[in-house]
Amino acid sequence: MNEVEEVKARLDIVDVISQYVTLQKAGRSFKAPCPFHNERTPSFIVTPERQSWHCFGACGTGGDVITFVMKKEAIEFSEALKMLAERVGVKLQGRREFSQEQRRRERLLAANEAAGDWFGELLVNDKAGAQAREYLERRQIDSAAAKDFGLGYSPAAWDGLRNHLRGIGFEDEELLRVGLLLQGDSGLHDRFRGRLMFPIRDERGRTAGFGARSLENRDASGAKYINTAQSPVFDKSGLLYALHRAVGGIRREGRAVIVEGYMDVIAAHQHGFDNVVASMGTALTERQVRLLRRTTNQIVLALDADAAGRDAAIRGHEVVRGALSDSRSTMPLVTWRGLAGYQQTIDVELKVAILPDGRDPDDVIRASPKEWRTLVDGAVPVLDFRLDALAGSHDLSTPAGRSRLAHEFLPILSVVTDPVVRAQYLQRLGRLTATGERELSAMLVSATARPGASKRAAATKEAVSGRGDNREEFLLALLLRYPALREDALGVREELLWNSENRALLAAWKGTAEAIEGTSHIEGVKNAVPVELWPHLERLTLRKMPEFDAKQAREAFADCVQRLVRRGLEAEKQATGAVFAEREAEVGASVLAEAASGEKMESDKQLLEVLRLQAQDMRTGLKLHGREEYDGSESVQTGNHG
Ligand SMILES: [Zn+2]
């Protein structure tokens, strides 16, 4: 339970609201004239079971105890939370704990920054850096490019960096944590020694870690390239080398190019191809593709000539070049099917550019920038590339060869759900295999019906069919995961959500600019909400979600909104129903009383009121009924209680 939940758990909404409004018991609920608008007939209902309140009159809104206090006192979320927390004696720690953790992270980033400066200084001025300077010269990296990319040199001594950073106030514990030091048999020592250093920056340009190339043939660890180990500020699967420098170029060119190595990126940028980034010897991860997707949906993979013959589309250059023999078996790979899957789930267009045999992008660009441009311009869609490669590897003059082609390509195509795209490739495959599209279609269906698919469908159903707050949270998790839903979601009223945390997050999400340069929209939301909501935001961000493509995400979103609208209508019906039943009982009694006293006028008024409520109930019923026949496409605009 986080702090907000704890505060709410210790409060009774009836107690709190009773301070402001005189509540009358009405069945399992309480009612009162609405404190937010002028009325004589109570349409303000408090439901202790759900710890919620609603005004079914002019306000047409409701919420939990925090939203009530916010509205009544006209204060912000965190102020209301503070007020209520004091009332029940909950100490709000989140802000302090967070800022401590934040400070620790800042320290680690600062240590990296200082290390980078020191390495850079040694590269330029130190005698020992001569070897690195010669290497750069040989690779045609001039001092301007070296400076732009913050290249550096780590001396071969065991404690040079450690002494320097301790001298300017960093602790061993911090340096160990950020991966600049290693714990060896004889104590702590520098991790990077005698190497050319490549600072690896995050998308905001902060030094998250380092890549390092050996300047000897091999050092003790036997690796040509090593990099910072996973740390609180370094996660290779969520970083792309030079992304912060490439964002402008990617936007201008309308596409990003992914290469494998640091040297390839530097060569590209030196020659004006500043839309090039590197995956740094990892498989291309979904997170990396999503990072690029913020700026472009056109991604070109520059792959080596062997790629065509491999089942795995991409693997780290460390594996390709055999430098890290021990990681060969553990290096994650991206299969062609995986790439096709990215296209689908992240809504990007992936193309493949194949490098001439045995040459790196570095070689190609330096030999002929024009050739590089031609290569990238000529990149082919990943599905075409794979189909061509498979077709080329089988003897299509034999039935067996044609069958193999179909059986190898269909599983890749099965990831694609767009019927137009599917049809196009089925046609091509049909021509290549001399098989009817109908037969191939049938094969495709059986290739699609794999265990994972039904599991995902079940997960979707489970996630969507959740009740109450779970549904609200699903909606928010969707929006956080799929920023492309923005247009659909801007029309959703915050009042559709009853939980104050969720409502505050939705408001912040709607108010956050689509993509602030260099930051994720989640960070934008984070900056826009009180720190007390950060644990909640984090939980929603990490929530396990089915993988949706763009269309599925929109459908799930529309469905979820529709269910929330219906929930509101049902609650309204329930509440008015309860009030109506009570009225009827009152009227019954008053008719008797009237017979005794002859006060006819008053009872007429009451009968009129009963009729009004009856009519309202009927309208609600009609609305509910009508909604059930809705196809959901318009439900976004009807995000209110009627
Ligand atoms: Zn009201």
Summarize the confidence of residues 168-178 as an average pLDDT. 94
Tell how far the Cα of 59 is from the centroid of ligand 1, in angstroms: 4
Tell how far the Cα of 75 is from the centroid of ligand 1, in angstroms: 18
Tell how far the Cα of 19 is from the centroid of ligand 1, in angstroms: 17
Tell how far the Cα of 62 is from the centroid of ligand 1, in angstroms: 9
CATH number for the region 108-232 comes to 3.90.980.10
Tell how far the Cα of 626 is from the centroid of ligand 1, in angstroms: 25
Tell how far the Cα of 129 is from the centroid of ligand 1, in angstroms: 74
Tell how far the Cα of 7 is from the centroid of ligand 1, in angstroms: 25
Tell how far the Cα of 30 is from the centroid of ligand 1, in angstroms: 14
Tell how far the Cα of 571 is from the centroid of ligand 1, in angstroms: 15
Tell how far the Cα of 46 is from the centroid of ligand 1, in angstroms: 12
Within the chain, what is the greatest distance between any pair of CA atoms?
112
Tell how far the Cα of 36 is from the centroid of ligand 1, in angstroms: 5
| Gyration radius (Cα) of the chain, Å | 32
Is pLDDT larger for residue 309 or for residue 260?
Answer: 260
Tell how far the Cα of 56 is from the centroid of ligand 1, in angstroms: 7
Coil, strand or helix at 276: strand
From residue 305, give the alpha-carbon distance in Å to each of 191, 309, 311, 314, 357: 34, 8, 13, 12, 5
pLDDT tens readout for residues 372-388: 999 999 999 999 998 99
What is the rounded CA–CA span in Å between residue 564 and residue 639?
Answer: 8
The reported pLDDT for the residue numbered 195 is 93
**pLDDT for residue 323 is more than 80:** no
Tell how far the Cα of 42 is from the centroid of ligand 1, in angstroms: 9
Tell how far the Cα of 601 is from the centroid of ligand 1, in angstroms: 28
What is the rounded CA–CA span in Å between residue 273 and residue 444?
Answer: 40
Instruction: Give the residues across from 380 on adjacent strands.
Output: 352
- Give this complex's ipTM: 0.95
CB of 445 closer than 8 Å to CB of 478: no
Tell how far the Cα of 611 is from the centroid of ligand 1, in angstroms: 21
Tell how far the Cα of 33 is from the centroid of ligand 1, in angstroms: 8
pLDDT tens readout for residues 331-357: 345 678 878 878 877 788 999 998 988
Is pLDDT larger for residue 574 or for residue 566?
Answer: 566
Q: Six-digit token pair at 429?
A: 């495959």
The reported pLDDT for the residue numbered 15 is 92
Tell how far the Cα of 80 is from the centroid of ligand 1, in angstroms: 20
Q: Give the architecture-level CATH label for domain 243-378.
A: 3-Layer(aba) Sandwich (3.40)
What is the rounded CA–CA span in Å between residue 100 and residue 90?
Answer: 20
Tell how far the Cα of 287 is from the centroid of ligand 1, in angstroms: 45
User: Angle at CA 24, nearest 5°, toward 20 and 30?
Assistant: 85
Tell how far the Cα of 79 is from the centroid of ligand 1, in angstroms: 23
For the ranges 45-49, 126-130, 459-463, 521-525, the lowest mean pLDDT is seen at 459-463
Question: What proportion of the chain, given as a percentage, has pLDDT over 70?
Answer: 78
Tell how far the Cα of 335 is from the centroid of ligand 1, in angstroms: 57
CATH class of 3-88: alpha beta
For the ranges 149-158, 185-194, 347-356, 621-630, the lowest mean pLDDT is seen at 621-630
Tell how far the Cα of 269 is from the centroid of ligand 1, in angstroms: 61
Q: How confident is the model at residue 367 (pLDDT cuts 50, 70, 90)?
A: very high
Tell how far the Cα of 589 is from the centroid of ligand 1, in angstroms: 28
Tell how far the Cα of 34 is from the centroid of ligand 1, in angstroms: 5
Tell how far the Cα of 640 is from the centroid of ligand 1, in angstroms: 14
In DSSP notation, 192-233 reads --SEEEEEEE-TTS-EEEEEEEESSS--TT--SEEEPPPBTT
Q: Residues with Cβ < 8 Å from 512, sequence gap 6 or more? A: 521, 524, 525, 528
Tell how far the Cα of 53 is from the centroid of ligand 1, in angstroms: 10
pLDDT tens readout for residues 500-528: 889 888 888 877 655 444 456 777 787 77
Tell how far the Cα of 24 is from the centroid of ligand 1, in angstroms: 16
Tell how far the Cα of 339 is from the centroid of ligand 1, in angstroms: 53
Is pLDDT larger for residue 374 or for residue 98?
Answer: 374
Tell how far the Cα of 499 is from the centroid of ligand 1, in angstroms: 18
**pLDDT for residue 591 is more than 90:** no
Is pLDDT larger for residue 2 or for residue 158?
Answer: 158
For the ranges 95-99, 135-139, 219-223, the lowest mean pLDDT is seen at 219-223
Tell how far the Cα of 584 is from the centroid of ligand 1, in angstroms: 23
Tell how far the Cα of 40 is from the centroid of ligand 1, in angstroms: 11
Tell how far the Cα of 20 is from the centroid of ligand 1, in angstroms: 14
